[in-house]
Structure 1
Amino acid sequence: MDIRLLRIDDRLIHGQVATTWARATGISRIIVVSDQVASNPLQKLLLKQAAPPEIKAHVISVKKLIEIKDHPLMKDVKVLLLFTNPTDVMTIYKQGVAFDTVNIGGMKFTEGKQMVTHFVSVDQQDIEAFQYLDEQGIELEIRKVPSDRKQMVMDVLKKGNFL
């Protein structure tokens, strides 16, 4: 699997992903990785329909991604992996899915979370997952679209006294 972009964005497939990021990365497949979404047939159907017609879209569980990561049929497939949270990203890393950068596009504010930017909110579990990934040498950058200036998530967390 040729991971062209690994993105955390709880909106999943939407305009920015379906157009700007897909074009910028040259992908042929979007894979949404979420246990919750994978178990919801209606949400799966809607997400698949949101992808551009020339790009295949799939919704799978975290376990399924780990199972298929080295499958011969995935060998040269250029993919964009979409996640809703950093904990799932940490899980796949620990299970041998190789990547060196995570793009954070949006993590909405919900009860128990604190805003660190106007479109990224975190709780303690998110912070711990980001810390783990940072310790592994993974670049953790915040950008909505490719033309935005990168903000490093660890710098944002330090500046906001979240660490």
Structure 2
Amino acid sequence: MGIDIRLVRIDDRLIHGQVATVWAKRLDIQRIIVVSDAVTKDNLRKTLLQQAAPPGIKVNVIPVAKMIEIYSNQLFNNVRVILLFTNPIEVAAVVKAGVVFPSVNIGAMGYTTGKKMISNTIAVDAADLEAFNYLEKQGIELEIRKVITDSKQNLMSVLKKY
């Protein structure tokens, strides 16, 4: 039992047109949970995310520790959710704490100093690579898709080219 995780997605844009409309509708979710220590501390961004949600879908912005805490809470049994993260480091943290899901969709990870572009929408640094390697070793599928209709692309295969 527990939370019905329909999608785990890394996308530093978080809730935007594709997530808010297509993914949410196709996956028949009730709630979007943004899991980010940084976003939790940014009241303006939290408010904007809550306003960006499609009608009828609740948005929560919570830190990593809270996600770990609520994962097995009976109050969330069978609640259909999308978990949104801004980076793979926080995804790895929840997995290390016992949160279970079969795959991670990587949508967009923007370029900042010290990161290397591996696709037109994904930039990674050493800490990101370490987190992705950990997730792969746990048997979690790491797939790149910007939108739900795109073909899945294996992140680890893409990384081998760089």
| TM-score interval for Structure 1 and Structure 2 normalised by the shorter chain | over 0.9
Secondary structure of 1:103's counterpart equals strand
Within 5 A, what are the aligned runs for 1:29-108? 29-108=31-110
Once the 2 structures are TM-superposed, how far is the Cα of residue 121 of structure 1 from its aligned partner? 0.5
Q: Distance in 2 between matches of 1:155 and 1:23?
A: 29
Measure how far apart 1:120 and its partner are.
Answer: 0.4
Q: What is the percent sequence identity of the aligned residues?
A: 59
* Cα separation, 1, equivalents of 2:70 and 2:34: 14
Q: Deviations over 1:55-104 (max 9, x none)?
A: 00010000011111111111110000000000000000000101010000
Count how many residue pairs are aligned between Structure 1 and Structure 2: 160
Separation of aligned partners in 1, 2:63 and 2:133: 23
Please say if 1:137 is aligned against 2:139: yes
- How high is the TM-score relative to the length of structure 2? 0.97
Structure 2 residue corresponding to 1:4, chosen from 6, 15, 18:
6
Partners of 1:130 and 1:43 lie apart in 2 by: 26
Aligned residue type for 1:30: I
Take 1:32 and 1:142, find their aligned partners in 2: how far apart are those partners?
A: 19
CA distance in 2, matches of 1:98, 1:75: 14
Where in structure 2 are there 5+ consecutive unaligned residues? Answer: none
**Which of 134, 148, 151 lines up with 1:149 in the alignment?**
151
1:43 CA drift (Å) = 1.1
What residue identity is the alignment partner of 2:11? D
How many Å separate the matches in 1 of 2:161 and 2:77?
40
Q: Secondary structure at the match of 1:8?
A: strand
Displacement after TM superposition at 1:116 (Å): 0.2
Partner of 2:148, secondary structure, is coil
Query: 1:42, CA displacement in angstroms?
Result: 1.4
| Counterparts of 1:77 and 1:12, CA distance in 2 | 20
Compare 139-148 and 36-45 and name the one that shifted more.
Answer: 36-45
Matches within 5 A, 1:113-132: 113-132=115-134
Counterparts of 1:141 and 1:24, CA distance in 2: 18
Runs of 4+ deviating beyond 2 Å = none
Alpha-carbon distance between aligned partners in 2 of 1:5 and 1:103, rounded to the nearest angstrom: 7
| Matched residue, 1:18 | 20
Consecutive unaligned residues of structure 1, counting only runs of 5 or more, are none
